[in-house]
């Protein structure tokens, strides 16, 4: 019997020892993880502090901001590498709105906000907008690759600008006019100009697009900063192609197509009331350019009469 008690005591002692050791290991693991979290948070704090010091030293670009965020997360398993939305929210959390503005981070924020619209993540959209996300900039970025997002962005309050229309026209020259009409309707001023004085009409590549723009109310005789109207610009290019054809006797297929498009466009602009006598800052008009080149058919077109 004594032997049995002795064995039982040894078993209980061993069990207690194992339990104590296991508990110590668990506590040790928790302490290790806590130490790691503290070290990581300190590392993050140091990185952010260092980064903040660089703000006034350079004009930080989107790529630098993005690299910083990538570096910030590369050792953190709590966040997904493939979720830029979480990274942007983390950045917003760590920096004040004023600091974000100093970081020139809005361009990067617009990229993430466009991504949020693509995912239709309304929660992320709300948070990014509250943090200064620029919907008009997002619309600018969306019109070429993701035109299907245009209605949603306009509904949320994005304001199309001249550059927005230009971006859309550049990539959708002969597409359904529905999106273009929505963008034009959303503009505050249909005759708004860019930094070079161009209205959206200057970017019309053919008569179909020009018709949509003119029907929307764009001025046909508006001048850019050089005094050029859309008619002068298109006519000047048409004349240069005609002169090249006369000189070489041939044109590439692309140039032939461009010459045809410009001839149709010039004809349409004249029919719609474009003034061929308006002069640019060099004193040139569409009519004087035609007369100088000696193309009697084009002179007749501008004068509104058939060549005899």
d(C-alpha 274, C-alpha 229), whole Å: 9
Rounded to a whole number, what is the distance in angstroms from the first to the last CA of the chain? Answer: 136
Domain chopping of the chain, boundaries:
220-308
CA angle 285, 289, 291 (to 5 degrees): 115
pTM of the model: 0.67
Mean pLDDT over the full length of the chain: 75
pLDDT digits (tens, 9 = 90+) for 271-297: 999 999 999 999 999 999 888 888 888
From CA 76, how far away is CA 47, in angstroms rounded? 13
Look at residue 115 and tell me whether its pLDDT is greater than 60: yes
For domain 220-308, the question of CATH label 1.25.40 is answered with yes
The set of long-range contacts for 292-296, using a CB threshold of 8 Å and a minimum separation of 24, is 293/239, 293/242, 293/243, 295/239, 295/242
Q: Are 184 and 195 in contact, with CB atoms under 8 Å apart?
A: no
Cα–Cα distance measured from residue 103 to residue 180, given in angstroms and rounded to the nearest whole number: 34
229-243: pLDDT as tens digits: 999 999 888 888 888
Q: Give the Cα-Cα-Cα angle 281, 287, 288 (nearest 5 degrees).
A: 60
For residue 231, CA distances in Å to 21, 132, 222, 297 come to 89, 41, 10, 16
The pLDDT tens digits of the residues spanning 170-179 come to: 876 655 678 9
Closest CA relative to residue 276, chosen from 96, 201, 267: 267
Q: Report the alpha-carbon distance of residue 13 to residue 5 in Å, rounded.
A: 12
Question: What is the C-alpha separation between 56 and 69, in angstroms, rounded?
Answer: 18
């Amino acid at each position: 019997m004594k032997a049995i008690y002795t064995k039982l005591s040894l078993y209980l002692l061993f069990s207690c020892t194992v339990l104590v050791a296991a508990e110590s290991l668990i506590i040790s693991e928790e302490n290790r993880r806590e130490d790691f979290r503290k070290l990581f948070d300190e590392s993050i704090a140091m990185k952010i502090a260092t980064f903040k010091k660089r703000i006034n030293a350079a004009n930080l670009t989107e790529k630098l901001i993005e690299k910083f965020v990538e570096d910030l997360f590369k050792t953190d398993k709590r966040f997904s590498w493939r979720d830029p939305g979480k990274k942007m929210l983390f950045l917003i959390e760590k920096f004040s709105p004023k600091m974000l503005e100093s970081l020139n981070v809005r361009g990067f924020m617009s990229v993430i906000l466009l991504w949020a619209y693509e995912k239709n993540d309304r929660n992320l959209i709300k948070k990014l907008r509250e943090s200064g996300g620029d919907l008009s900039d997002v619309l600018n970025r969306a019109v070429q690759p993701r035109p299907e997002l245009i209605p949603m962005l306009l509904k949320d309050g994005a304001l199309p600008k001249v550059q927005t229309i230009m971006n859309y026209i550049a990539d959708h020259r002969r597409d359904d006019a529905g999106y273009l009409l929505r963008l034009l309707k959303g503009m505050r001023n249909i005759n708004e100009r860019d930094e070079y004085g161009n209205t959206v009409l200057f970017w019309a590549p053919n008569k179909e697009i020009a018709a949509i723009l003119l029907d929307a109310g764009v001025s046909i005789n508006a001048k850019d900063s050089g005094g050029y109207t859309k008619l002068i610009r298109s006519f000047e290019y048409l004349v240069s192609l005609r002169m090249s054809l006369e000189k070489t006797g041939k044109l590439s297929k692309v140039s032939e197509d461009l010459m045809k498009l410009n001839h149709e466009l010039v004809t349409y602009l004249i029919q719609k009331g474009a003034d061929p006598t308006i002069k640019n800052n060099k004193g040139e008009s569409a009519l004087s350019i035609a007369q100088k080149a000696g193309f009697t058919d084009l002179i007749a077109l501008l004068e509104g009469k058939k060549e005899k």
